Structure 1
Amino acid sequence: MIYGIGTDICDVRRIRASLERHGDRFAEKVLSEAELATWRKRGARWPERGVRFLATRFSAKEAFSKAIGMGMRMPMTWRLCEINNLPSGQPVIVLHGVLREWFEERQLTAHVTVTDETDYAASFVVVEKPAP
């Protein structure tokens, strides 16, 4: 049974401008430790890949926050929600701390997809709960 649906589109140019203005502080606010490591690795080889990685993660976390009906307020925070990838490349949501506890108490599951193209990153999230 569907608990919530969230979608987000993010202007990659806006993310690039935030990085230029705030440097790593912007990424450190949005990304988990594991995501930060990936962002730094990708950005070191090809800066544009780093920007796109950050944009897709930003978009997916926004979409997730909408799907759970909270926006960015506790227990939903940027760093407690992580977008990871399975070995197949499929994106998955990994939750931490109080957000994970909140999510598990409700027996919710989440599905996420992300994409980016030139100037935009987009995400779609479906959160499900067990049928009554």
Structure 2
Amino acid sequence: MIIGTGSDLCNIERIQNSLDRFGERFENRVFTETERAKARRRPFTIAGTYAKRFAAKEAFSKAVGTGFRRGVFMKDIGVSNKPSGAPTLVLTGGAAKRLEEMIPAGHEAHIHLTLTDDHPWAQAFVIIEAIPNMGPAELI
């Protein structure tokens, strides 16, 4: 069952302006080390790389219904990639706690994330699904 959805549209030029004005202070405050490493590997599209991840953080905060309040912080929401290359979220701190509070007993969370950009826009969609845990008898 779907328990949360969120989307966000982020202006890449706005992110570039923040990078120009605040540099590493902005990067360190908003993005995880994994996200910063990914952006450094893409020097010609660093603002677009960050803008997609910024949009994903915003979309997740909307999907859990808190925004960036009640202990949910941007740095608690990190975008990484599965072995297939598909983007996913890695949650820590208040973001992980909020997601855990939303999941019904006997279920586990599955987060669907999609990212796209077309200058000057970056966009993210998050769908949070609660999937029933399968007990040993159900696996047979």
Report the counterpart of residue 68 of structure 1 in structure 2: 64
**Alpha-carbon distance in 2 for matches of 1:102, 1:118:** 32
The change in CA–CA distance for 1:11 and 1:103 in structure 2 (over 3 A counts) is same
SS state at 2:25 partner:
helix
The change in CA–CA distance for 1:89 and 1:41 in structure 2 (over 3 A counts) is same
SS state at 1:55 partner:
helix
**Alpha-carbon distance in 2 for matches of 1:36, 1:74:** 25
* TM-score normalised according to structure 2 size: 0.82
**Alpha-carbon distance in 2 for matches of 1:12, 1:99:** 24
Deviates more, 1:55-64 or 1:91-100: 91-100
| Structure 1 segments of 4+ aligned residues over 3 angstroms from their partners | none
Q: Is structure 2 residue 63 aligned with structure 1 residue 86?
A: no
Deviates more, 1:33-42 or 1:19-28: 33-42
* TM-score normalised according to structure 1 size: 0.87
**How far off is 1:130 after superposition?**
4.3
**Alpha-carbon distance in 2 for matches of 1:66, 1:101:** 15
Report the counterpart of residue 135 of structure 2 in structure 1: none
Report the counterpart of residue 128 of structure 1 in structure 2: 129
Percent of residue pairs identical: 41
Q: Which runs of 5+ in 2 are unaligned?
A: 133-140
**Alpha-carbon distance in 2 for matches of 1:113, 1:66:** 15
Report the counterpart of residue 136 of structure 2 in structure 1: none
**Alpha-carbon distance in 2 for matches of 1:75, 1:124:** 22
Report the counterpart of residue 24 of structure 1 in structure 2: 24
Q: Is contact 2:73–2:94 with CA below 8 Å preserved after alignment?
A: no
**How far off is 1:118 after superposition?**
1.5
Q: Which runs of 5+ in 1 are unaligned?
A: none
Q: 1:38-95 CA distances to partner (integer Å, 9 max, x unpaired)?
A: 222322xx2xx11111000000110010001010113311111111111222110111
